[in-house]
């Protein structure tokens, strides 16, 4: 049986290319630096969230990887600011899903997030889906502030959480609490926290230079 052609996934651009290797490769971007909010990003009206979910034969989301030949992943990850780290995936990796969520302005201030579309990239085909594999933004209706908190910067597992509250001051307090104790990520009162399953990447994106029809770029 001939091996399936390798795939390079760029989580920021989702560009698919092939090469001469026999195993799929996943290119994982290092986390960019934002001086104003190095560990989190608040969603704003007009933005979108691109969610990348690996499709594994095991049914999980965490892709088992190993360094590409001649590459020291830990060293590269520790010093990289931009660019990507290439890893070889195991045989359990069969594809990935790209789901998009739109960030809408809420009357009276704040935002709400709605599911837009999802498509699965598998074995050279793109299949549209009515539902995402792992729905993320199932937030309480009354929430107005939504934040993506990165719990482990530069983590290849995309260790993040979704925070949502009705008040800005509550959001700040919840952020500090979860940062100091990730087990505190849960719903309580007017605060909501959901731990994104390891392996799933939720990327906030905005239009470049604020242009209404400009290309989407990472907002973090």
Q: Among residues 28, 78, 45, which one has the least CA distance to residue 146? A: 45
Enumerate residues 6+ apart whose C-beta is below 8 A from 135. 115
How far is it between the farthest Cα atoms of the chain? 60
pLDDT along the chain (220 residues), means of 10: 40 33 42 55 95 79 56 40 41 85 95 96 91 92 94 65 94 93 88 91 88 84
- pTM confidence score: 0.71
For the chain, the domains span: 8-218
State residue 187's pLDDT score. Answer: 87
The dihedral over CA atoms of 83, 101, 134, 125, expressed in degrees to the nearest 10, equals -70
Sheet holding 25-29, edge to edge: 8-10, 25-29, 84-89, 65-67
Residue 50, φ and ψ in degrees, nearest 5: -100, 125
State residue 60's pLDDT score. Answer: 62
State residue 62's pLDDT score. Answer: 58
In the three-class reduction of DSSP (H, G, I as helix; E, B as strand; rest coil), residue 21 is classed as coil
DSSP structural state of residue 70: T
Bridge-based pairing state of the strands 201-207 and 84-89: unpaired
Contact 106, 144 (CB under 8 A): yes
Residue 198, φ and ψ in degrees, nearest 5: -55, 135
Q: Which two tokens stand for residue 187?
A: 């719903």
State residue 70's pLDDT score. Answer: 56
């Amino acid at each position: 049986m001939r091996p399936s052609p390798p795939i390079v996934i760029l989580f920021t651009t989702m560009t698919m290319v092939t090469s001469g290797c026999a195993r799929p490769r996943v290119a994982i971007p290092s986390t960019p630096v934002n001086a104003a909010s190095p560990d989190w990003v608040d969603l704003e009206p007009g933005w979108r969230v691109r969610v990348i979910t690996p499709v594994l034969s095991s049914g999980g989301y965490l892709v088992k990887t190993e360094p590409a030949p001649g590459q020291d992943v830990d060293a590269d990850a520790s010093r990289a600011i931009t660019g990507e780290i290439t890893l070889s995936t195991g045989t359990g990796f069969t594809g990935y899903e790209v789901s998009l969520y739109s960030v809408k302005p809420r009357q009276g201030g704040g935002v709400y997030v709605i599911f837009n579309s999802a498509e699965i990239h598998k074995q050279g085909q793109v299949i549209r889906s009515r539902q995402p594999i792992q729905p993320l933004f199932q937030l309480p209706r009354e929430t107005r502030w939504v934040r993506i908190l990165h719990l482990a910067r530069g983590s290849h597992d995309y260790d993040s959480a979704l925070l949502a509250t009705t008040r800005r001051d509550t959001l700040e307090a919840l952020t500090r609490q979860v940062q100091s104790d990730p087990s505190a990520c849960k719903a309580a009162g007017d605060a909501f926290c959901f731990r994104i399953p390891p392996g799933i990447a939720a990327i906030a994106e905005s239009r470049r230079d604020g242009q209404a029809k400009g290309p989407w770029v990472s907002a973090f």
